Amino acid sequence: MISLTLSQLADAVAGDLHLFGDDTPETVVDGPVDTDSRAIVAGGVFVAKPGEQTDGHRFVDAAVASGAALAIVERTVDASVSQIVVADAVAALADLARFVVARVRERGELRIVGITGSNGKTTTKNLLARILEDDGETVSPRASFNNEVGAPLTMLRLTDDTRFLVSEFGASGPGEIARLAGLVTPDIGVVLMVGMAHAGGFGGIEATFHAKSELVRAVRTGGLAILNADDPRVAAMAPIAAERGIDVRWFGRGDTAEVRAVDVEVTATGTRAELVVDGAPLTLRLRVLGEHHVMNALAALAAATALGIDAATAVARLETVELAERWRMQPLGSERVRIINDAYNASPDSMAAALRTLAQITGPQERTVAVLGAMSELGEYAEEEHDRVGLLAVRLGIQRIVVIGADARRMFLEAVAQGSWDSEAVFFATADEAYDYLVTELRDGDRVLVKSSNSAGLRFLGDRLGEFFA
């Protein structure tokens, strides 16, 4: 975090300052901010956030023991540290982030990119950050820090020397993206796609469209919206941009996109794509698995080139990326049995993309195995969408379909109904049961996809299989 006095910090969060020891209102604090006492380092700021399972106020002493210089609390705590008392710790975190971003922006060098979409946010964020970091200090979220806590924590990592901030905006309901993007007012807003992910929380696909379009509305006047020309709902955000005087830059596979892929070839070691960037032909050899990640790369290129990065340079930097993020199309195992662990998140769109990738990268003498768990946050659409995944797996010719968990059972039932029977499709209640089956069932030449939402926990099964077959 940038250097601020205790008085400035208290003003920023509209809190009451309670000094401890030798501290004065002019005492300077510049350490990192966190809501996890285990992550606090010397000089850091601990935000005592009440949680669903526990209360951050219980861990103020632990934060102090780790060197916290300040605690932001909702009530005073008997601890050896100065404290700022606020009405709502999460709201205070947002207020502090807004204040810090504004202070850094006053210096005139900071450029801010906001990214949203039903799928691909984290991969696109990581690809863009990789392009930008060679041109100046770049701050981007760790993992998927994209909610009301994670997004402000990322913003608070800004320093006086930060040139680029890449913010990822997720949402579980209407208004959340507007609140988060409103903290920074991005120079560039990137919208990847509008799909069924979290549709249960939004109330349907049209409500999801309105929620994702909040980012376009949050872009500063005179800024830029980068939109997916291939997604009709994203393309429908162009009039919103026009109403606000915001230019649009398009990415996609069609001829109308300024940044487009005209030919794509998927292999087991990555994806080759012939690109056209503002009229110039380029070849991208992306080591990240999956044709769907080409679209994420196009979005990152569109943003980077809009920020002044040379297209060929940006492509060369993209080609150094070996893994978008842990548990996202992560290759494990060995050439004998290749495990693709993609079980950090799942939606109908990402599930379909992962299954298609599995089919594309498997050779004629190899066998496709899909290990599938539930997709969360689909609400009333859950049964229908799980049925669709089972149907797609059969239509793609996946040779072994292993479904895990009661919430995913519809995939198994649909696969059987579509003709995948006689042990081609199997169901297990737990990941442990599936593991015991898979370590005896898998054989040389198998290509195995492990895919589910985070809540299903199959990412750990993927890790276990990767270690077993390493």
- Binding site for ATP: what residues are annotated? 117-123
pLDDT tens digits for range 398-440: 999 999 999 999 999 999 999 887 789 999 999 999 999 999 9
Asked whether residue 202 falls in the same domain as residue 67, the answer is no
Residue 95 is assigned to a structural domain of this protein: no
User: Which of 90, 125, 144 is the last residue before a domain boundary?
Assistant: 90
pLDDT tens digits for range 18-67: 999 999 999 999 999 999 999 999 999 999 998 777 899 999 999 999 99
Total residues belonging to the chain: 470
pLDDT exceeds cutoff 80 at 201: no
What is residue 419's three-state secondary structure? coil
Rounded to an integer, the average pLDDT of 240-268 is 95
Rounded to an integer, the average pLDDT of 178-197 is 92
Reported confidence tier of residue 202, pLDDT bands at 50, 70, 90: low
Reported confidence tier of residue 197, pLDDT bands at 50, 70, 90: low
Asked whether residue 240 falls in the same domain as residue 129, the answer is yes
Three-state SS sequence of 11-64: HHCCCEEECCCCCCCCCEECCCEECCHHHCCCCCEEECCECCCCEHHHHHHHHH
Q: How far apart are CA 403 and CA 374, in angstroms?
A: 9
- For residue 17, give its domain range: 4-90
Asked whether residue 344 falls in the same domain as residue 310, the answer is no
Residue 170 has a pLDDT of: 85
Asked whether residue 199 falls in the same domain as residue 59, the answer is no
Q: How far apart are CA 338 and CA 350, in angstroms?
A: 20
Residue 264 is assigned to a structural domain of this protein: yes
Asked whether residue 378 falls in the same domain as residue 450, the answer is yes
Asked whether residue 281 falls in the same domain as residue 162, the answer is yes
Asked whether residue 334 falls in the same domain as residue 309, the answer is no
User: Which of 56, 90, 124 is the last residue before a domain boundary?
Assistant: 90
Q: How far apart are CA 221 and CA 234, in angstroms?
A: 20
What is residue 341's three-state secondary structure? strand
Residue 297 is assigned to a structural domain of this protein: yes
Residue 101 is assigned to a structural domain of this protein: no
CATH number assigned to the domain comprising residue 26: 3.40.1390.10
Residue 145 has a pLDDT of: 81
Asked whether residue 122 falls in the same domain as residue 251, the answer is yes
CATH number assigned to the domain comprising residue 425: 3.90.190.20
Residue 444 is assigned to a structural domain of this protein: yes
Asked whether residue 303 falls in the same domain as residue 350, the answer is no
Phi/psi of residue 3, nearest 5 degrees: -75, 125
Rounded to an integer, the average pLDDT of 363-378 is 94
Round the average pLDDT of the chain to a whole number and report it.
94
Q: How big is the chain by its Cα radius of gyration, in Å?
A: 24
Residue 99 is assigned to a structural domain of this protein: no
CATH number assigned to the domain comprising residue 220: 3.40.1190.10
Q: How far apart are CA 151 and CA 288, in angstroms?
A: 25
pLDDT tens digits for range 299-329: 999 999 999 999 999 999 999 998 888 898 9
DSSP 8-state class, residue 373: -
Domain count, the chain: 3
Write down the pTM of the prediction. Answer: 0.91
Task: Report the percent of the chain where pLDDT is more than 90.
Answer: 85
pLDDT tens digits for range 95-135: 999 999 999 999 889 999 999 998 899 999 999 999 999 99
Task: Report the percent of the chain where pLDDT is more than 70.
Answer: 98
Q: How far apart are CA 177 and CA 209, in angstroms?
A: 12
DSSP 8-state class, residue 325: B
Asked whether residue 385 falls in the same domain as residue 337, the answer is yes
Rounded to an integer, the average pLDDT of 167-194 is 93
Contacts (Cβ under 8 Å, ≥6 apart) of 132? 138, 163, 164, 166, 304, 307, 309
Distance of CA 119 to the CA centre of its chain: 8
Reported confidence tier of residue 199, pLDDT bands at 50, 70, 90: low
Residue 22 has a pLDDT of: 96
Asked whether residue 130 falls in the same domain as residue 237, the answer is yes
Residue 257 is assigned to a structural domain of this protein: yes
Residue 196 has a pLDDT of: 67
- Binding site: what residues are annotated? 117-123
The answer to whether 369 and 439 are in contact (CB under 8 A) is no
User: Which of 288, 318, 348 is the last residue before a domain boundary?
Assistant: 318
Asked whether residue 154 falls in the same domain as residue 295, the answer is yes
Q: How far apart are CA 376 and CA 200, in angstroms?
A: 9
Residue 128 has a pLDDT of: 98
Which is more confident, 328 or 251? 251
Residue 269 has a pLDDT of: 87
Reported confidence tier of residue 203, pLDDT bands at 50, 70, 90: low
Which is more confident, 173 or 237? 237
Residue 98 is assigned to a structural domain of this protein: no
The Cα-based distances of 167 to 41, 106, 112, 157, 185 in angstroms read: 24, 19, 7, 12, 11
